[in-house]
Chain A
Amino acid sequence: MSDILRLDHVSYAYPGGRPVLRDVSLAVTAGRSIGLVGQSGSGKSTILKLLLGLMRPQTGDVLFDGARLDLSDRQMMRTYRKSVQAVFQDPYASLDPRQKVQAIVSEPLRALGIGGDRRAMVVAALRSVGLDGDILDRYPAAFSGGQRQRIAIARAIVAGPRVVLADEAVSALDLTTKVRVVDLFRDLARKTTLLFVSHDLGVVASLCDEIVILEGGRIVETGPTRAVLAAPAHAYTQQLLASVPRLPDFLAGASSP
């Protein structure tokens, strides 16, 4: 089987709260980038926390290469961390301001005890996100939001993960920067498998092969992105799509190259 990650009939409720996930099943398949779309309260962050191994579902299972993910199995979790890395929303909060780029990007290598020429691996990771290897001794404060997000992506890919989880990873970026970072994720999706969590349908549409629409802790619709957006079957997907502000008609193609 080629499912790297699976949620199998997962439900979750925070202590004393209503369920935030209800019977959610989804599969992250090697080579198919998948977009998880939902508004606030849809449960997308909770799914991500489960996939990051930060908590356990109350019912159902998180499966990794077909085996139940056991947070107390250190050997399994080591393999898991090597295989699954993440990029977060806020490029200003997700990088330690006291660490140099070299230390930040090489952190997964150290944590996972990956040997070899770490410096060369860091430089290679930085190059692959469009940054120069000569920034190793600089601090995050020296970089713009877009550059910081590139550094965060370099950190996520330095250990050669099979899956990259991205949590609203372009939402905080300006439009012109967003386009470039989305391009970078698109390149990344060719080398690894991407699970991209976002409230932004336009970004997911331009990036992901598959789309999963979440509402109130349930999956309401899922399928190939193009097909779902062209003919949304569920009323909620239709409402979501109809709510996205669109460019005026008179523009169509006006500024195309």
Chain B
Amino acid sequence: MSLLKVRDLSVAARGRNLVDSVSFTLDAGERLGIIGESGSGKSLTATAIIGLLPPGLSATGSVLLDGHEVIGAREGELTALRGAVAATVFQDPLTALDPLMRVGRQIGEVWERTERRAGRPHGKGDTRAAVFSLMDEVSLPEPERIAGAFPHEISGGQRQRVAIAMALACRPKLLIADEPTTALDVTTQKETLALLARLVADHGMTLLFISHDLPVVAGIVDRVVVMRTGVVVEEGPVRQVFATPTHAYTRELLVAAERFDRALGAA
């Protein structure tokens, strides 16, 4: 059964469609990438999937997340779906983190909420152990120090690991990663991508990975959707879309990516 079924999803602002009749499905355990440049609607699509569109934007069509309709759902139902079914990691971890709360506490709160929802009793010591275990899972070094630090006191790569730990604390079926490594230095990006790939495999999570970066997407997903100006122009397995693109825009993207890739010489 598909974990996510998007049918004719449109997102409109002042009568103009920014996302226009987008459809795709994502089966449990699958890893799907959405590739697009700015204005493609890729991030709006992700935002609509978790029902977090900013005011002024409205979605029509259907988004079935684990069998629950997201479009038109009440906030209470959405809150239950977010976390339990889908958790998101954004480009800038600072937007996801509370600047005034120590990072250990932030991870702990998400974990406690997940336990409460599941009706599992837990004490303070349980939270502490869970936080350290989550930090270990995302390979954060010096857990004592980092748990006691505020977001601005740790590096960008470490902040993104904290955001990933918080997503993981929800034990979601679907992990949505929206440009999760775009703001990171290239060496940190490599480590973070390896971490995401390992966690998705270890926990059997389904992955929706949104990025403008073709090589990054190709390295982490099985199937891609290519979007441009709110419309899906091409979809298929990575190998098929990258080796034999059918749409002119996909070809243009690939030619551009190849140009910089080739300049680096043999991999």
A interface vs B, CB < 8 Å?
A: 39-40, 145, 174-179, 199-203, 205-206, 226, 229-230, 239-251, 254-257
- Whether A255 contacts B260 by the Cβ 8 Å rule is no
Residue of B nearest to A177 (CB): B37
Task: Name the prevailing secondary structure of the A interface residues.
Answer: helix
**A199 to B185, Cβ gap below 8 A?**
yes
Q: Could you tell me if B264 and A244 are in contact, using CB atoms closer than 8 angstroms?
A: yes
Q: Contact check, B260 vs A243: say whether CB atoms are below 8 A apart.
A: no
**Chain A residues with Cβ under 8 A from B238's Cβ?**
248
9 further A-B pairs in the complex, CB-CB below 8 A; given A176-B37, A179-B259: A174-B37, A175-B37, A175-B257, A202-B263, A205-B260, A229-B265, A246-B267, A247-B214, A250-B239
Output the residue of A203, A205, A245, A256 with the most chain B CB within 10 A: A245
Binary contact track B224-267/A, C-beta < 8 Å → 1, others 0: 00000000000000110011110000011111111111011101
7 closest pairs, A vs B, by CB? Answer: A202-B260, A205-B263, A206-B263, A245-B215, A174-B37, A39-B185, A243-B190
Residues on B lying within 8 angstroms of A by beta carbon are: 37-38, 156, 185-187, 189-190, 193, 212-216, 218-219, 238-239, 242-245, 251-261, 263-265, 267
Q: When the two chains form their complex, are residues A247 and B261 in contact, meaning their CB atoms are under 8 A apart?
A: yes
Other-chain contact of A176, B189, B216, B239, B253 (Cβ < 8 Å)? B253
B186 touches A247 (CB 8 A): no
Q: A175-B257, A240-B186, A255-B245 are in contact. Are A205 and B264 (CB under 8 A)?
A: yes
Contact B261 A246 (CB under 8 A): yes
Residues of A within 8 A of B213 (CB): 245
Which residues of chain B are within 8 angstroms of A244 by Cβ–Cβ distance? Answer: 186, 215, 264
Check if A245 sits within 8 Å of B187, measured CB to CB: no
Determine the chain B residues whose CB is within 8 A of the CB of A240 once the complex forms.
186-187
CB pair B264 A229 closer than 8 Å: yes
User: What's the nearest-Cβ distance from chain B to residue A189, in Å?
Assistant: 14
The answer to whether A176 touches B244 (Cβ under 8 A) is no
Chain A hits for B186, CB < 8 A: 39, 199, 201, 240, 243-244
In the complex the two chains form, what is the Cα distance from A255 to B256 in whole Å? 10
> Are B193 and A245 in contact, CB atoms less than 8 angstroms apart?
yes
**B256/A247 in contact, CB under 8 A:** no
Q: How far is the CB of B254 from chain A (nearest CB, A)?
A: 4
Report A43 CB to chain B, min CB distance, Å: 14
